[in-house]
Amino acid sequence: MLLARRDIEPCLGQWHLPGGTVFFGESLTAAVARVAARELGVSVAVGDLLGYIEYPFMAADGYRGWPIGIAFDTTISSGQPVGSAEGSETGWFTEIPPDTIREQAEFLNRLVRVPS
């Protein structure tokens, strides 16, 4: 999985799934493509919806509102991840780093958990 280290608040210094706001009138897949280009410098093919992420711990820490994330499987179709002012360091991981945003780490752990 490709993660970026946040260079901005909230969650400064933590690894995260790049993301952003969906603009009025913009489709979810168009938002995913736009954010990938802006935050990672890549073009992506947007795949399946993986699920949603709620952020109760971020809200408890004083973050304004109750953020919600919608995660999609994506494949880089062109470019190499270069990061941005929001997260200049990027990395490919086979395991979730311990300093990943808590809610995202829990979400990713649920995705990779092998059914018993």
| pLDDT tens per residue across span 71-94 | 999 999 999 999 999 999 999 999
pLDDT of residue 58: 67
Average confidence score pLDDT of the chain: 90
What is the model's pTM? 0.87
Q: Enumerate the H helices of 1-116 as residue ranges.
A: 28-40, 56-60, 102-112
- Angle value at C-alpha 85, between 84 and 89, nearest 5 degrees: 55
Dihedral class, residue 12 (left if φ above 0, else alpha if ψ from -120 to 50, else beta)? beta
15-61, pLDDT tens digit by residue?
A: 999 998 999 999 999 999 999 999 999 999 999 999 999 988 766 66
Length of the chain: 116
Based on its alpha-carbon atoms, the radius of gyration of the chain, rounded to whole angstroms, reads 14
8-26, pLDDT tens digit by residue?
A: 988 899 999 999 899 999 9
DSSP 3-state assignment of 76? strand
Share of the chain above pLDDT 90, in %: 78
Domain total in the chain: 1
DSSP 3-state assignment of 17? coil
Please give the C-alpha separations between residue 67 and each of 20, 21, 51, 79, in angstroms, as whole numbers. 11, 10, 14, 29
CATH code of the domain containing 54:
3.90.79.10
Residue 44 belongs to domain spanning: 2-112
Q: Alpha-carbon distance 80 to 14, whole Å? A: 21
